Structure 1
């Protein structure tokens, strides 16, 4: 069979040794039995798929919001982002599709605020705030390249969380952590313990290669930020990992079938476990897997770690997110020691004053 390379198409052999061909952007497969590879029929089918894709691709108006987004998506600034961040941005671009024809000259701060507020009203406060942040990134990129004279999303504050509203990813209590560890099935326990005792997010924990656990230590990079994460494995986690069911998956954690977990698959299994424990009264409502990152931050903060150390432990570039994650830490034990030292220092100084008099 003749091998040819066509731009925009992926050609490979599957695990059965059969040739497969896909259009990369649309993931449209080509039936190589009907259109033999390298034949005139094959070339014609490739041209048809490309033409169909181009016909389905909306044409953006010059000087419009849609054109700016289209150009930004094709730039290195977007393509260098982590896949998760690209997917999050794309959700916002899809939301903005109905107003893609809006001229850039019409975009000002009041209009951006209205876009943010409408998104928050229909899809939630977090989505609205994140949409505003995404627009700020895109407008900033466009401003540097002459698309706009100003960044109309710059300086707009995020919508504040209503007072009394529960945190989206609250830290787990000690009792909740122990209850989940005691009730988790053997094939789920390593992944949950990994998130609980290293601060890795669900995606990073589930995709961690087996080779990244070595000599009692875990070394990896966060998928979202690319920041390195290094953890000497705590003894309880080490014991759980060594006692985990054997499997041949390349990842450290695996499902009951011995295959790498998918994020959706693990979340479905976690939901079943969480609902059962909630019904039994073993855990409170609102427990999330991502809340375990907040839990680790809170524990480190209560242990006296500074914000830079917490940021390094969680793989954060800046301390702002570490500060947010550690919010709610119980600082009373630490502050009792601080005030005791402060009181002793005051007494020492008072004694010196008395001697001078």
Structure 2
């Protein structure tokens, strides 16, 4: 039985004694399994939470700037300096410009971070009309779990991280009372063994088959320990001659805003000497077209696809990643006697704990060898 109500564009269906409300154009039910009379159903459809659900498609067509300051959309517009509404997202990310009265540190975030946050906020656009002080932690868990199913677990966690960063600033400026993201656990459980050290022969096999645009990235990761976001940003002018190391890189990493001195291993120096420098201020890592990578994500995707093709061909094993070459770099130093603190500094990390994190497998390897050495000559 179909009943027409004053709200336009709805079909109301009664099945097995319960009511179901659907968009007339199709899609998921807006209300499922309501138990009651027709008059009670109509009263339910007039309640604010259903009206909000009913209006959700209209929300998708509204700019964040059109929402009030006390709504999620209004806060997103303030936090992103209006970038969420930018017609040309690529140009906006390339040349961020701060807006007076908006969050002042947004343009200073790395391009990759801003892109990730904007992707998360864009996913949340249907919720932009929600009042900030109506958002609760249980609501966020429900939203996150649905996102993990619709998208994937890591993206769902990225969405919560983006919200938490924004809510933190909102609380400081009295735009909301509390940060409901605090204390939330993750939907995605990271693999502690991801980004493994590359096995013997894998780097040679990959390097021999790689196009130049991939070769450069592999070398910078393996023989200078650079992380992805640094690889796409490092320039020729940041290299300098050094009496002890031959050549080194001096830069401030976007990850921790620390000034770092990063030596280049001889293999990298020899390789870079074969590359024709276009401009002294230019980026080292270029596409085969001669243009810089548009983003770390573009570069990581290209390298990842190349590695997975090699894996399918049997040239390298499973689990190789660009970041795994950073692990290989750290492991080489650890086996050469570097301390955890020295490894962290060589990687451009703030914490000695990160030096230990990258080389914990080497520590286990050393322990096993030490134990074997004690018993190898015993009968």
Q: TM-score range by the shorter chain?
A: 0.5 to 0.7
1:104 maps onto 2:132 in alignment: yes
Aligned length: 284
1:82 maps onto 2:114 in alignment: no
Contact 2:240 2:249 (C-alpha < 8 Å) held by counterparts: yes
Quick check: 86-95 or 221-230, which moved more? 221-230
Q: How big is the shift at 1:113? A: 1.4
In the alignment, what sits opposite 2:77? 70
1:183 maps onto 2:206 in alignment: no
Contact 1:197 1:237 (C-alpha < 8 Å) held by counterparts: yes
Distance 1:85 1:270, change over 3 A: closer
Root mean square deviation of aligned Cα: 3.3
SS at match of 1:128: helix
Q: How big is the shift at 1:261? A: 4.9
Distance 1:132 1:212, change over 3 A: same
Q: How big is the shift at 1:188? A: 4.2
Contact 1:85 1:224 (C-alpha < 8 Å) held by counterparts: no
Q: How big is the shift at 1:306? A: 4.6
1:252 maps onto 2:297 in alignment: no
- Determine the C-alpha separation between the residues in 2 that align with 1:252 and 1:319: 29
In the alignment, what sits opposite 2:173? 145
List aligned pairs for 1:97-246, cutoff 5 A: 97-161=125-189, 169-185=195-211, 188-215=214-241, 216-244=247-275, 246=276
Contact 1:302 1:331 (C-alpha < 8 Å) held by counterparts: no
Q: Structure 2 length normalisation: TM-score?
A: 0.64
Q: Structure 1 length normalisation: TM-score?
A: 0.67
- Determine the C-alpha separation between the residues in 2 that align with 1:207 and 1:240: 18
- Determine the C-alpha separation between the residues in 1 that align with 2:223 and 2:334: 14
Contact 1:84 1:224 (C-alpha < 8 Å) held by counterparts: no
- Can you give the 5+ residue segments of structure 2 that lack an aligned partner in the other structure? 1-61, 81-101, 242-246, 375-379
Runs of 4+ in 1 over 6 A off after TM superposition: 338-341
1:315 maps onto 2:345 in alignment: no
- Determine the C-alpha separation between the residues in 2 that align with 1:69 and 1:262: 24
Q: How big is the shift at 1:193? A: 0.9
SS at match of 1:218: strand
Q: How big is the shift at 1:252? A: 2.9
Deviations 1:273-322 (A, max 9, x none): 43553243111234332332333344445555454444333333445655
Q: How big is the shift at 1:336? A: 4.8
SS at match of 2:105: helix
Contact 1:247 1:259 (C-alpha < 8 Å) held by counterparts: no
SS at match of 1:174: coil
- Can you give the 5+ residue segments of structure 1 that lack an aligned partner in the other structure? 1-54, 342-357
In the alignment, what sits opposite 2:315? 282
Distance 1:147 1:330, change over 3 A: same
Quick check: 100-109 or 298-307, which moved more? 298-307
